Amino acid sequence: MTQVLDSDLTTLLVQDKRQVAKDIWSFRLVHPEGQSLPAFKAGAHITVQTPAGQRRNYSLCNDPSETSFCEIAIKLEHNGRGGSRSMIEQVQAGQMLQASAPKKDFELLDPSHEVIFIAGGIGVTPLLSMARQMSKLQLAGGQGHFRFYYCARDAEGAAFMPELQALQNAGEVSFHFDGGNPDAGLDFWPLLEKPSQAHIYCCGPQGLMDAVKDMSGHWPQGRVHFESFGVNAAQHATNSPFQIKLSKSQTVLPVAEKESILEALRKAGHRVPSSCESGTCGSCKTALVAGQVEHRDFVLSDSDKCNHIMVCVSRASQANDLIEIDL
Ligand code: FES
């Protein structure tokens, strides 16, 4: 399991920043001295230290064979905790950023397969990298073929449309805009009714992933792959301040409304392993000693929730409550 500690972050230069859709900006990052960046697999992400202090995971959206730069895209989360806003408003081309090496919780297993990509909103980013890789390999004589379905509210809010249209020589790309009406969403049943040899890769809002999950339950195991971070429902939940008590030192720390327990611990000099920071990977699992917790992760079983907490997303149930953790 990948663990992110301070020493895992390195410095990258923001070479370019551009708006790619309403509320979405892309950042091209390079090594400050022009060296190659670490190799990665399509679907990988990096963790970035934002100017607001939080760490955020962003999928790499460039072709993985390109190592002179990497590209991420960030959506402005109007109701978020400030991480995306600080990246978009405070980070400009020419500045340095602290970022981790690429990590792969989600990856294109075999680009020579038949693949169905289903993207929603900013969830397009890891799938764009995968489609770019398949397109390049196909131009070089590879066998893979893809169909790419990109769902968004409208064309204005759909990032990388020209880039996706440019991949049509290697696959089929279609766009579906629902105008913000969930009843007008793409009907996946005709696409998923009959399982084929294809692998499905899906990344987007929870509603879209739930719909694909519901309609692909009869597909063979291991053929349907989901990525959820970056579109984490927990970021949109209402937050209140509370306190944590560290049982070993008996120290009490405040956790502010716009802060996670993990961030409060880091600020106080405590190091806790983490990776996804969206409640999906399991790295930050911590023993819970006392207190009522609102569990917001996708990892813990019901029985685990009695005595553990994922400190990257979960919080006290009530404002100003105290929860005690085994640190
Ligand atoms: S860091 Fe992944 S679940 Fe908390």
Q: How far apart are CA 207 and CA 87, in angstroms?
A: 26
**Residue 273 in contact with ligand 1 by CB distance below 6 A:** no
**Residue 111 in contact with ligand 1 by CB distance below 6 A:** no
Domains along the chain? 6-99 (2.40.30.10), 114-227 (3.40.50.80), 235-325 (3.10.20.30)
pLDDT over 70 at 309, yes or no:
yes
What per-residue confidence (pLDDT) applies to 167? 94
Distance 152 CA to ligand 1 centre (A): 27
Q: What is the DSSP letter of 168?
A: T
Q: For residue 168, what are the contacts with CB-CB under 8 A and spacing of at least 6?
A: none
Q: How far apart are CA 48 and CA 201, in angstroms?
A: 24
Higher pLDDT among residues 242 and 222, named by residue: 242
Give the confidence band of 298 by pLDDT, cuts at 50, 70, 90: confident
What per-residue confidence (pLDDT) applies to 232? 46
Q: How far apart are CA 314 and CA 82, in angstroms?
A: 17
Helix, strand, or coil here: 202? strand
What's the mean pLDDT in 16-35? Answer: 97
pLDDT over 90 at 229, yes or no:
no
Per-residue pLDDT tens over the stretch 78-116 = 866 688 899 999 999 999 999 999 988 788 988 888 999
Q: How far apart are CA 326 and CA 66, in angstroms?
A: 43
What's the mean pLDDT in 282-310? Answer: 90
**Residue 312 in contact with ligand 1 by CB distance below 6 A:** yes
What per-residue confidence (pLDDT) applies to 236? 46
pLDDT over 70 at 5, yes or no:
no
**Percentage above 90 pLDDT, the chain:** 66
Higher pLDDT among residues 168 and 4, named by residue: 168
**Residue 261 in contact with ligand 1 by CB distance below 6 A:** no
Residue nearest to atom 3 of ligand 1 (CA): 279
* Residue matched to tokens 């969206």: 278
What per-residue confidence (pLDDT) applies to 3? 39
What per-residue confidence (pLDDT) applies to 297? 81
Give the confidence band of 274 by pLDDT, cuts at 50, 70, 90: confident
The pTM for the full model equals 0.75
HEC string of 63-121 equals: CCCCCCCEEEEEECCCCCCCHHHHHHHHCCCCCEEEECCCECCCCCCCCCCEEEEEEEH
**Residue 272 in contact with ligand 1 by CB distance below 6 A:** no
What per-residue confidence (pLDDT) applies to 237? 59
What per-residue confidence (pLDDT) applies to 96? 97
What's the mean pLDDT in 183-193? Answer: 92
What per-residue confidence (pLDDT) applies to 194? 95
> Would you state the structure tokens that stand for residue 211, as one six-digit string?
């719909």
**Nearest ligand 1 atom, CA 297:** 3
Pocket test for ligand 1, best of 5, 274, 295, 305 (most atoms within 8 A of CB): 274
